[in-house]
């Protein structure tokens, strides 16, 4: 009987600990990228990206991100993007992506939920670890919140 009780408690706590993890996966395309060279080897770009997404709740939708990319002499980059998305039920969210990395074609950073309606209200203020990879103008993105 003790073993059964221990197993029930173990599985209950395991389920509770994973229940609060949220995953978001998107694939998209850079639809606009305007750049200027500030000085030799240093560039600032304004980009617009459109993506479709799915999440760990079974939702799906679209998201548009707009922001800046700063490229430096050592090939490092700093991205700062604002994003606005919605799901199939027209529930909306906004967030911010900050990514500092050694290369533009891949990196990790943080997505912060700034606002949301419906299911996204519970995510406001959460900071999620993200990873992104580019192939030409296409990107593959994932973030996870605990």
Q: What is the pLDDT of residues 102-137, one digit of tens each?
A: 988 899 999 999 999 999 999 999 999 999 999 999
| Backbone conformation region of residue 90, classed left if phi is above 0, alpha if psi is from -120 to 50, else beta | left
Q: What is the pLDDT of residue 19?
A: 54
Q: Is the pTM of this model over 0.95?
A: no
Q: What is the pLDDT of residue 103?
A: 85
- For residues 94 and 84, the answer to whether their CB atoms sit within 8 Å is yes
Q: What is the pLDDT of residue 48?
A: 97
Model confidence at 3, pLDDT cuts 50, 70, 90, reads: very low
C-alpha distances (whole Å) from 125 to each of 34, 45, 70, 105 are: 31, 27, 25, 28
**Average pLDDT value for the chain:** 88
Architecture of domain 22-145: Beta Barrel (2.40)
Model confidence at 20, pLDDT cuts 50, 70, 90, reads: confident
Burial of 55-72, coded b for 16+ CB within 10 Å and e otherwise, reads beeebebebbbebebebe
Q: What is the DSSP letter of 104?
A: S
Is pLDDT at 18 greater than 60 in this prediction?
A: no
Is pLDDT at 6 greater than 50 in this prediction?
A: no
């Amino acid at each position: 009987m003790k073993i059964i009780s221990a197993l029930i408690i173990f599985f209950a706590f395991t389920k509770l600990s994973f229940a609060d993890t949220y995953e978001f996966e998107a694939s998209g395309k850079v639809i606009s990228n305007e750049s200027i060279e500030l000085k030799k080897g240093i560039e600032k770009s304004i980009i617009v990206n459109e993506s479709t997404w799915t999440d760990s709740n079974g939702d799906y939708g679209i998201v548009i991100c707009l922001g800046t990319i700063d490229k430096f002499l050592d090939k490092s980059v700093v991205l700062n993007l604002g994003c606005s998305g919605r799901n199939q039920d027209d529930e909306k969210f906004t967030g911010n992506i900050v990514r500092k990395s050694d290369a533009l074609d891949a990196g990790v950073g943080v997505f912060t939920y700034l606002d949301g309606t419906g299911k996204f209200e519970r995510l406001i203020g959460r900071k999620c670890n993200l990873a992104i990879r580019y192939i030409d103008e296409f990107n593959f993105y994932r973030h996870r919140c605990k």
